[in-house]
Amino acid sequence: MPEINFTEKVRELLSKREGVHTAFVHTYGCQQNFSDGEKLEGILEQMGYTIVDSAEGAEFVIFNTCAIRENAEKRVFGNVGILKKAHEENPDMIIAVCGCMVQQEHIAKKFRQSYPFVDIVFGTHAAPRLPELVYKHITAKKRQFDIGEGEGCMAEYLPIHRDDDMKANLPIMHGCDNFCTYCVVPLVRGREKSRLPENILAEAREIVAAGYKEITLLGQNVNSYGKGLENKITFAELLREVNAIPGDFRIKFMTSHPKDCTRELLEAIRDCEKVCNYIHLPVQSGSNDVLHRMNRRYTAEHYMELVDMAREIIPDVTITSDLIVGFPGETEEDFEATMELSRKARWSMTYSFIYSKREGTKAAVMEDQIPHDVSSNRFQRLLDLQTEISHEINASFVGKTTTVLFDDEVDVGEGYISGRSYENLVVRAPRTDVQKGFAKVYLKESLGWALDGEIIKTEEI
Ligand code: SAH
Ligand code: SF4
Ligand code: F3S
């Protein structure tokens, strides 16, 4: 039997209805999920939908969800609930929920039972089957559920609608094998799988040809890229190959797991002129006891060796981190070890989180869960210390010259345009002096949270 082209079938159905068919994808969570969201938008476009940037008035709304912490999930339930009325008023409206949250059985069940106005629920592995689900929903007027297996957004043939005009996401692998005891990702995303280097390089070339100025290589642990591929390749080697693509662009990557961070990688960052002098190297905790119970498989001492080695090999490198406070059993002494590591590692920025219990993880059943008031107090102390350090790091760059990609990512006040430097620092400059794109900048003054830059005109270089 020939395969049915459901994309075409939905296109036909839509063409019989009047007007423009609008769709909005609301993505939560990490950059990988945003990248998946861009593929869902690509699929929607192929079916004949026009992508819009708000749920208001949209005919089709997809919630592409994140399960990493409880508050991420709460927000989704709240935002889905808001659309109930719009759905009642427009019988043609479709509401779908997909992504990491629905890959958990208890959540899928909740949508099935308590959110009857959600028309389609599909998991992280089912994205390529979206056209079929939409077609069946429209023609049978029935709710569709698909939490089954499949390639998900890893499928090589999926179209993509890129949301940004300067920066492009490029997933190099999917899933995670690390099973940190607090983390739901391996449970909802499945096992780690690397894409073939030739597919990654072809996509990188397309991105560059389309005029993008920044490529971010994405994976939950990019340092283990290549595991399981027939022709052996390391992440450092891949980085060098992407760097060799001609063009005016730069490269970032995330996330690096400290247990797999090597000298080879740090040297590749140093040698590759397009790779930014910046590493996101999440430590999670400064206490060896906590790290052990988190199953992170490195010690605070090993982490500091990596930081020192990075600073020795890569000039002006900045390092950022993720931290969790209030992991089960975290004592005041454990927390002090995290504060101490912050002082030593001197991250330019951190993402800190209060531990959130996730069903199905090992940490969820550990004894001695920490009361919220203790965690929030520690969280605030850590934040205050980090603010001080971030300001000091910014100040240490005053007087240096760097390249900034201006793209207005951060709101930096009226009359100014923002960008990120080659070291990932937030820099601003007067709008009258520079357009979006790359510019050479003299870092004139620290504003604490950012740097004031002076554009160096090309003739002055
Ligand atoms: N793969 C990346 C992280 C992805 S999740 C890595 O290993 O570094 C992003 C961050 O969310 C993690 O680094 C961690 O700091 C945080 N996080 C994950 N699970 C969490 C939980 N249950 N509670 C609080 N923070 C969590
Ligand atoms: Fe989660 Fe750990 Fe995998 Fe990162 S490496 S996604 S924190 S299990
Ligand atoms: Fe969240 Fe899934 Fe990413 S749980 S952090 S969206 S992989």
- Asked whether residue 105 is assigned to any structural domain, the reply reads yes
Which ligand is nearest to the Cα of residue 220, counting in written order? Answer: 1
Cis peptide before 320 (omega within 30 of 0): no
| Ligand 1 in reach of 135 Cβ (< 6 A) | no
Does the structure show a pLDDT above 80 at 90? yes
131 plus 215 within the same structural domain: no
- If asked whether residues 364 and 308 sit together in one domain, one would say yes
Distance 33 CA to ligand 3 centre (A): 6
CA distances from 235 to 128, 242, 256, 431 (A): 27, 11, 10, 38
- Can you give the CATH number for the domain in which 136 is found? 3.40.50.12160
Residue 410 — very low, low, confident or very high, per pLDDT cuts 50/70/90?
confident
Residue 420 shares a structural domain with residue 287: no
Together in a domain, 115 and 165: no
Same domain, 210 and 339: yes
The number of the ligand 1 atom at minimal distance from the alpha carbon of 352 is: 15
- Do 129 and 237 lie in one domain? The reply is no
Domain stops at, among 92, 127, 153: 153
Ligand 3 — pocket residues by CB below 6 A? 29-30, 32-33, 66-68, 100, 184-185, 188-189
Q: Is the predicted pLDDT of residue 461 greater than 60, yes or no?
A: no
Rounded CA separation 307/196 (Å)? 30
Ligand number nearest CA of 182 is 1
Q: Point out which residues pair with 50 in neighbouring strands.
A: 22
* Same domain assignment for residues 146 and 163: no
Among the candidates 153, 175, 202, a domain finishes at 153
The CA 295 to ligand 1 mean position distance, Å, reads 13
Give the containing element (helix H, strand E) for 73: helix 70-82
Amino acid at residue number 434: V
Average pLDDT over residues 308-322: 97
Q: How many domains does the chain have?
A: 3
Digit-coded pLDDT (tens) for 175-218: 999 999 999 999 999 999 999 999 999 999 999 999 999 999 99
Q: Are residues 216 and 277 in the same domain?
A: yes
116 and 258 assigned to the same domain: no
- Asked if 267 and 178 sit in the same domain, the reply is yes
Does the pLDDT at position 458 exceed 70? no
Q: Does any domain span residue 332?
A: yes
Share of the chain above pLDDT 90, in %: 94
Ligand 2 atom at minimal distance to the Cα of residue 176: 3
The structure tokens listed for 101 are 């949250």
Alpha carbon 3 to chain centroid, angstroms? 34
For residue 340, pLDDT over 60 is answered with: yes
Does residue 41 form part of some domain?
yes
Q: Provide the pLDDT confidence category of residue 459 given band limits of 50, 70 and 90.
A: low
Residue 118, pLDDT above cutoff 60: yes
Ligand with the closest atom to the CA of 321: 1
CATH assignment of the domain containing 419? 2.40.50
Same domain, 56 and 107: yes
- CA 179 – ligand 2 centroid, Å: 6
Report CA(195)–ligand 3 centroid distance (Å). 19
- Share in percent of the chain as helix, strand, coil (round to 5): 40, 20, 40
Q: Which residues, at least 6 apart from 206, have a Cβ–Cβ distance to it below 8 Å?
A: none
Span 352-358, average pLDDT: 98
Protein residue with its CA nearest to atom 1 in ligand 1: 220
Ligand 2 shell residues, CB under 6 Å: 176, 178-180, 183, 185-186, 220-221, 257
Q: What are phi and psi for residue 16, nearest 5 degrees? A: -80, -15
Distance of CA 220 from the midpoint of ligand 3 (Å): 9
Predicted confidence band of residue 457 (pLDDT cuts 50, 70, 90): confident
Residue 1 maps to a domain = no
For every residue of the chain, which 3-state class applies, written as one string?
A: CCCCCHHHHHHHHHHCCCCCCEEEEEECCCHHHHHHHHHHHHHHHHCCCEECCCCCCCCEEEEEECCCCHHHHHHHHHHHHHCHHHHHHCCCCEEEEEECHHHCHHHHHHHHHHCCCCCEEECCCCHHHHHHHHHHHHHHCCCEEECCCCCHHHCCCCCCCCCCCCEEEEECEECCCCCCCCCCHHHHHCCCEECCHHHHHHHHHHHHHCCCCEEEEECCCHHHCCCCCCCCCCHHHHHHHHHCCCCCCEEEEECCCHHHCCHHHHHHHHHCCCECCEEECCCECCCHHHHHHCCCCCCHHHHHHHHHHHHHHCCCCEEEEEEEECCCCCCHHHHHHHHHHHHHHCCCEEEEEECCCCCCCCHHHCCCCCCHHHHHHHHHHHHHHHHHHHHHHHHHCCCCEEEEEECCCCCCCCCEEEEEECCCCEEEEEHHHCCCEEEEEEEEEECCCCEEEEECCHHHC
Q: Which two tokens stand for residue 173?
A: 């692998």
Same domain as 334, residue 213: yes
Query: In ligand 1, which atom is closest to the CA atom of 354?
Result: 24
**What residue has token string 């938008």?**
41
**Nearest alpha carbon, ligand 3 atom 7:** 185
Percent of the chain with pLDDT over 70: 99
Residue 33 belongs to domain spanning: 6-153
The dihedrals phi and psi of 425, each to the nearest 5 degrees, come to -85, 145
pLDDT in tens, 205-256: 999 999 999 999 999 999 999 999 999 999 999 999 999 999 999 999 999 9
Could you tell me the CA-to-CA distances from 179 to 32, 156, 176, 186, 454 in Å, in that order?
18, 26, 7, 6, 46
- Where a domain ends, among 127, 153, 179? 153
Q: pLDDT tens for residues 50-71?
A: 999 999 999 999 999 999 999 9
CA of residue 342 to ligand 2 center, whole Å: 21
Q: Is the CB of 236 under 6 A from ligand 1?
A: no
Domain of 372, CATH number, reads 3.80.30.20
